[in-house]
Structure 1
Amino acid sequence: MRAAVSLLRNSFGFARIHAKASPLEKIGWEQMKNNPLEPIISSCHSEYHIPKCRFMQYIRSGDTNKRLGMVSENGSKMIELSSKTCASPDMVSFIQQRYCMKSLISSAQFMEVDDVKQDLRLLPPIDSPGKIIGVGCNYYDGCNERHESIPKTPEFFVKFGTSITGALDNIRAHQIAKRIDYGCELAVVIGKKCRHVSRNAAMSCVFGYMIAQDINARDWNVLQGGQTMLGKSLDTFCPLGPVIVHKSHVPDVNNLWIKTIVNGEQRQCGNTKNMIFKIDYLIHRLSQFMTLCPGDIILTGTPAGSGAYRNPSSFLKPGDLVESEIQKLGKMRNKVVNPYA
């Protein structure tokens, strides 16, 4: 577990271990002995060791109860909220409780701060959303590489909750999918129930942000009659994590860099400022058609560099290691395995 804990301790956040993850020996931990990210903030700044509104779900060693905690920005310190406050151990229920984040931060200075233990087993930051809604072709550079015109309105799709997997969990290369692609995306977590919300009020409905990989069976999207829902909803095709960062810690969500690295090669390098339809518009648009609820997830699109549009194309296969990063939100590492691993 020491290698996994070292991965937690970096200035962007931390990846996690799913309670149902495969044994560590199967995940390629030799590649993870060193800190994968050089800290960008000096360790002398003590505020980066203070747990803030970066939320995780986890299980203690030898326990079976899901718990909720906050971790510091460098991933070394944590506070368990579910045993020290009235906070629910379930992330969706916690969001529904509508805690005041300023009060929570103020109260945290009086709570016991623990080290992030090596035997901690972290769960998905959110594992039971009511909806997972994605938007296709939402980056200018993505449209350019596809040789497509800029869309006038967003085109939405859905993924199902059973596709969720963790920030260090395996992605299964299902035999039914022959052309498996990747796409790192900023995921928005809805904080309150909303319907017919105006664009000006839309950001008040956001709870926070996390990283998502929109793993996608391109052959089902295109070659099998446009079965987008099936191609995007296979089990393990939605890695999420490593934490949910409250919106108060992300002052400019429209200027965050995004990266995907496959087997050490950088495949995607974009920035959220290149989104065609910004988060406020996406929430406004969706709320005209449906009620958005606490814990719902909106995937906001992926920048250029997906495997299908490389020359030659490059799809994922068993043995590949996919690393996903978004500024301020953390990093994920997912190994692609055969469906029976």
Structure 2
Amino acid sequence: MSYLPKGTVYGVLLNFRAEVEALAPLMTQAPYKAPPKAPILYVKTANTWSPSGSAITVPSQVDAVEVGATIAMVIGPDNDVEGFVLMNDLSIPHASFFRPPVKFKCVDGFLGIGPAMRDAQEVSDPAEFKLEVRINGELRQSVDFSKTVRSASRLLEDVGAFMTLAHGDVLMLGCDAGRPLARAGDTIEISAPGFETLVNTLVKEQA
């Protein structure tokens, strides 16, 4: 049986240094006029969840979607980390980074979820995670989790400062800059040492 979350799934923006550097000029503009001090979260609602191996429908008016390959923490009963899982946080390309609009992030099926949770006991340091994104077999992105703004433990601590995560909730570690685009007909594979590969195929919405 494929893994599916038991709680709320939270995405995190601006947790990779390259992404922060790329968007730095925008952070001083209105309406915010300063870089964010706390983690920026958004929810990937249950309608977005797609198990590994399933097809994900791309709306007919959308030419391409952004692949957001990441690894997420699964929260344990004592607000610790129970495990880790691969995720493909798909979105319709957009310019908003402080408050990502739901209509771009929460499209039906727009969260590929790895086939199994990796037990946290097997992981010595999440900063050692490295994943690869392949589209139709071609390597399109490599992600190194030593390049995050907040480490996994720091992210969990900083989020816990303003909200309580429940047992079974899922908190992504963020998506790096350089996210590739994929289109209907493409097969996306996200792999990382120690994890079962996450695979989803995009299909076009039928008229």
Shorter chain as denominator, the TM-score bin is: 0.7 to 0.9
The percent identity for this pair of structures is: 23
Residue 217 of structure 1 aligns to a residue whose secondary structure is coil
- Which residue number in structure 2 is paired with residue 138 of structure 1? 15
| Aligned mate of 1:260, from 119, 126, 133 | 133
8 Å contact kept, 2:38–2:158 = no
**How much does 1:333 deviate?**
1.5
Aligned-partner Cα distance in 2 for 1:147–1:291: 29
**How much does 1:147 deviate?**
4.8
**How much does 1:230 deviate?**
2.4
Aligned-partner Cα distance in 2 for 1:336–1:268: 18
**How much does 1:176 deviate?**
5.0
- Which residue number in structure 1 is paired with residue 44 of structure 2? 159
**How much does 1:139 deviate?**
1.2
- Which residue number in structure 2 is paired with residue 188 of structure 1? 73
Which amino acid counterpart does residue 202 of structure 2 have in structure 1? V
1:81-111 CA deviation, whole Å, 9 max, x = no partner? xxxxxxxxxxxxxxxxxxxxxxxxxxxxxxx
| Aligned mate of 1:170, from 55, 69, 84 | 55
Aligned-partner Cα distance in 1 for 2:52–2:178: 21
2:153 matches 1:269: no
Runs of 5+ unmatched residues, structure 1: 1-57, 59-122, 195-204, 308-314
2:4 matches 1:126: yes
Aligned-partner Cα distance in 1 for 2:203–2:66: 14
Aligned-partner Cα distance in 2 for 1:227–1:147: 14
Which amino acid counterpart does residue 322 of structure 1 have in structure 2? I
Which amino acid counterpart does residue 215 of structure 1 have in structure 2? L
- Which residue number in structure 2 is paired with residue 148 of structure 1? 24
* Aligned-CA RMSD value: 2.2
- Which residue number in structure 1 is paired with residue 174 of structure 2? 301
2:90 matches 1:215: yes
**How much does 1:188 deviate?**
0.5
Residue 83 of structure 2 aligns to a residue whose secondary structure is strand
- Which residue number in structure 1 is paired with residue 121 of structure 2? 248
Whose helix proportion is higher, 1 or 2?
1
Whose strand proportion is higher, 1 or 2?
2
Larger radius of gyration: 1
Q: How many residues get paired?
A: 196
Which amino acid counterpart does residue 158 of structure 1 have in structure 2? V
Within a 5 Å distance, the mapping from 1:99-118 to structure 2 comes to: none
2:182 matches 1:316: yes
Aligned-partner Cα distance in 2 for 1:327–1:232: 27
Runs of 5+ unmatched residues, structure 2: 26-34
8 Å contact kept, 1:267–1:305 = no
